[in-house]
């Protein structure tokens, strides 16, 4: 019968091919776009704050580069146990990790040793911190710590270029946290992890100023509003939370 109606048979063939294409086409793989996070607010600036709020938290002032000595203090291992925190990060030897708010590179250089085929992209907004990082790389003969100048609202990393991001005592200073997290969502590969180390605000025995601490509840509220999935809070560090989030 189809021979008698060649036009009908061609139409059937074409519509069959179209149906097969849509039926077998793989589902889109990009992460879902998160809803827009709530707007920033304002408050009278407190001693260590900037008078700008995000989801009820006043953002802290940035630690300037004269604070390098404090970041590099010898007691840091005893107080914060960075070697224990670093051992809890799940990183393959060829991983690319972005240390956002790297400062003097205290963590960057210690992690870079674990990535013989990978690297640490050490991101900061203060050129003086990057100059210190460059000098340290030369002094130590390290070739896999890459200083990288970011902006206050953008880490300026290429899309899908990093396996994980780390923020140590830095996120609470970001004056555009929602934009920074949006830029990290772009820079991370799918299922990429964000490791957030912040001094525990729930613990009054942690001897750090209030604006430089965060509760787990606050961090989860902000990261989830910006489209990250909470994975776990690793216990066992003396002063800090080690919160793990994932790009969906
Ligand atoms: C308290 S220091 C911590 C440095 C380092 N993570 C450490 O623990 O040794 C915070 C750093 O975050 C940086 N920072 C603040 N806002 C930033 C942003 N939006 N992007 C990248 N770095 C930022 C500051 O310049 C500063 O060097």
Instruction: For residue 58, tell me if it sits in a domain.
Output: no
Å from CA of 38 to ligand 1 middle = 23
Q: pLDDT digits over 47-106, tens only?
A: 999 999 999 999 999 999 999 999 999 999 999 999 999 999 999 999 999 999 999 999
Pocket of ligand 1 (CB under 6 A): 62-63, 71, 100-104, 106-107, 123-126, 129, 150, 152, 168-170, 173-174, 180
Dihedral Cα 147, 106, 236, 201, nearest 10 deg = -80
Instruction: Locate the ligand 1 atom nearest the alpha carbon of residue 170 and give its number.
Output: 10
The verdict on residue 114 lying in a domain is yes
Residue-number span of the structural domain to which 96 is assigned = 67-246
Q: How far is the CA of 150 from the centre of ligand 1 (A)?
A: 10
What is residue 25's predicted lDDT score, i.e. its pLDDT? 42
Checking if the pLDDT of 120 tops 60, the result is yes
Task: Using the atom order of ligand 1, give the atom closest to the CA of residue 65.
Answer: 27
Tell me what the pLDDT averaged over the chain comes to.
91
Residue 181 lies in a domain: yes
What is the per-residue pLDDT across 203-239, written as a single tens digit (0 to 9) for each?
999 999 999 999 999 999 999 999 999 999 999 999 9
Annotate 203-229 with b (16+ C-beta within 10 A) or e (fewer).
Answer: eeeeebeebbbbebebbbbbbebbbbe
* Distance from the alpha carbon of residue 57 to the mean position of ligand 1, in angstroms: 18
pLDDT at 17: 46
> What integer is the mean pLDDT of 185-199?
98
pLDDT confidence of residue 32: 67
Residue nearest (by alpha carbon) to ligand 1 atom 13: 101
7 pLDDT higher than 90: no
- What separation in Å is there between the alpha carbon of 129 and the centre of ligand 1? 9
Asked if residue 33 belongs to a domain, the reply is no
**170 CA → ligand 1 middle, Å:** 5
Per-residue model confidence (pLDDT) at position 20 = 43
Q: What is the pLDDT of residue 35?
A: 76
CATH number of 78's domain:
3.40.50.150
Q: Is residue 7 part of a domain?
A: no
Does the residue 36 lie in any domain?
Answer: no
Which pLDDT belongs to residue 33? 76
pLDDT in tens, 138-164: 999 999 999 999 999 999 999 999 999
Does 15 reside within a domain? no
Distance of alpha carbon 61 from alpha carbon 196, whole angstroms:
18
Nearest atom of ligand 1 to the alpha carbon of 153: 19
Distance 55 CA to ligand 1 centre (A): 21
* Residue 245 confidence (pLDDT): 98
Residue 12 lies in a domain: no
pLDDT tens digits, one per residue of 224-234: 999 999 999 99
Number of domains in the chain: 1
């Amino acid at each position: 019968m189809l021979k008698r109606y060649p036009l009908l048979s061609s139409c059937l063939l074409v519509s069959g091919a179209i149906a097969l294409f849509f039926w077998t086409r793989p589902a889109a793989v990009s992460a879902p776009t998160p809803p827009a996070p709530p707007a920033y607010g304002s408050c009278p600036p407190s001693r260590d704050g900037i008078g700008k709020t995000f989801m009820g938290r006043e953002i802290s002032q940035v630690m300037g580069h004269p604070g390098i000595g404090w970041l590099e203090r010898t007691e840091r291992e005893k107080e914060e146990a960075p070697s224990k925190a670093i051992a809890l990060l799940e990183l393959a030897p060829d991983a690319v990790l972005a240390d956002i708010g790297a400062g003097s590179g205290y963590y960057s250089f210690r992690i870079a040793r674990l990535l013989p085929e990978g690297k640490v992209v050490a991101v900061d907004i203060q050129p003086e911190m990057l100059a210190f990082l460059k000098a340290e790389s030369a002094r130590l003969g390290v070739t896999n710590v890459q200083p990288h100048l970011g902006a206050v609202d953008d880490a300026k990393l290429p899309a899908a270029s990093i396996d994980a991001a780390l923020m140590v005592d830095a996120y609470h200073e970001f004056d555009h946290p929602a934009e920074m997290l949006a830029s990290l969502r772009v820079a991370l590969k799918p299922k990429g992890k964000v490791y957030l180390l912040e001094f525990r605000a729930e613990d009054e025995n942690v001897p750090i100023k209030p604006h430089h601490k965060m509760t787990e509840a606050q961090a989860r509220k902000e990261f989830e509003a910006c489209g990250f999935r909470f994975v776990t809070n690793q216990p066992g560090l003396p002063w800090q939370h080690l919160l793990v989030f994932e790009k969906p």
